[in-house]
Homo-oligomer: A and B are copies of this chain.
Amino acid sequence: MKQKLGVLFVGALGSVATTVMSGALAIKKKLVPVRGLITESDFVKGVHYTPLSDIAFGGWDIRNRNLYEAAQQNATIPENILCCLWEEMQSIPVYQGIQVNVDDITKQVYGAFTTNIQESLYQAIQRIMEEIRCFKDEHNVDFTVVINVSSTEPMISRELYEWDLPFFESRIQENDFRIPPSISYAYAAIQSGCGFVNFTPSICMEVPALQELAIEKNALIAGKDGKTGQTLYKTVLAPMFKARQLKVNGWYSTNILGNHDGEILRNDKHARSKLESKSSGLKQILGYEDFDHVVRIDYYSPRGDHKEAWDNIDFEGWMGSPMSMKVNWIGSDSILAAPILLDMARLMDYAHRRGEKGIMSHLNMFFKSPYAPFGSQTEVDHDFFAQWVQFKEYLDQIVGREGES
């Protein structure tokens, strides 16, 4: 029996989503080499993932634009390759994003989108669930993963942390202004039996009502905030300083990027979620707190999606002698994120078939702020290599079990 996998993006016209979709199509047509996919590497030998040709894509976006044109404008894929994918991209459905409770900054950055849909929060969520149903039917999909790749939202009201599921649902019906889109999509996805990945720093599965729902539905969850560039190498380098007992006194990290995400982050309220997510981890890895950790994100238009980072690390060696290390990373956010998302969709699909549920802790290595298992109070390990060992142990265990049967 063929297992077809559906992947739906929140923010389907954004750079990350169009890069995943156009790249997957380009690989299928053998126009580009396979790069960045762990699920196509030796590491996962013996594990049978859904082939790329059996993955159906779609999503939502508040912008009212054509997917192909959005991909063109996002400019992460060469024009001469993109033009070969025109036909396939026409058949990917992009539904109208939730407009209820979208904050003003986001509205402003994403411009005058069509707001002729007049719907309450409850209606919007119902519509999302209906669209998931249709998508699954039309594409003959067994299991669907909803992935949030929309821009960072401001911090949420503290009250949401107090609400249980029934009260939360009553607030939906009351059109409560405190329930932001990310949480609404997560609710709709989990209610619909989908897996849910929060690739953004937006608050989402931290909310007890969503955790309650996820447990009730045996949902598979992964998040949050993709670890793709600066935080990736920081969690790789910090364990080196720790292992060698080189005392870190300061770590200055700056980022420049010129895409919509960067524009949104010019706003302090949005930046806070992001910076909080980026700042965590270092103290946990190093095991001490007496160092100066500064993280900066600056909007800088010449770069578009090509994020650039610069770090200066001050550390002390033998006899307290000062030394330093500087890193300059010239990457592309979407290029780095895209294969990870496909990997996660496939691994989640695989776990679903194996009957797993809850937080997928073996995917921690993909996140800046990995969710702890529901109910756990333990701090999650940010050390990339500890996370990598965890991932490989999960794979070994699977392959071992399968080997037995």
The residues of A with any CB-CB pair to B shorter than 8 Å are 19, 23, 26-27, 32-33, 35-38, 40-42, 76-77, 79-81, 232-233, 236-237, 239-240, 243-247, 249-250, 252, 254, 256, 258, 287, 291-292, 294, 296, 298-303, 308, 310, 312, 314, 316-321, 323-332, 334-336, 338-339, 365, 384-385, 388-389
Contact = CB atoms under 8 A, between A and B. Distances in A.
Given A244-B232, A325-B233, A302 B249 contact: yes
Number of copies: 4
Interface of A is mostly: mixed
Contacts of A320: 32-33, 35
Given A245-B37, A326-B327, A327-B325, A250 B318 contact: no
A245 B336 CA distance: 10
Contact of A318 (B233, B326, B338): B338
A100 to B, nearest CB: 33
Contacts of A236: 236-237, 239-240
Nearest to A247: B35
A239 B235 CA distance: 12
Contacts of A329: 325-326
Contacts of A336: 317-318, 323
Contacts of A256: 252, 294, 312
Contacts of A40: 245
Contacts of A249: 302
Given A237-B233, A301-B292, A310-B254, A318 B245 contact: no
A257 to B, nearest CB: 11
Contacts of A308: 312
A143 to B, nearest CB: 24
A332 B317 contact: yes
Contacts of A294: 256, 298-300
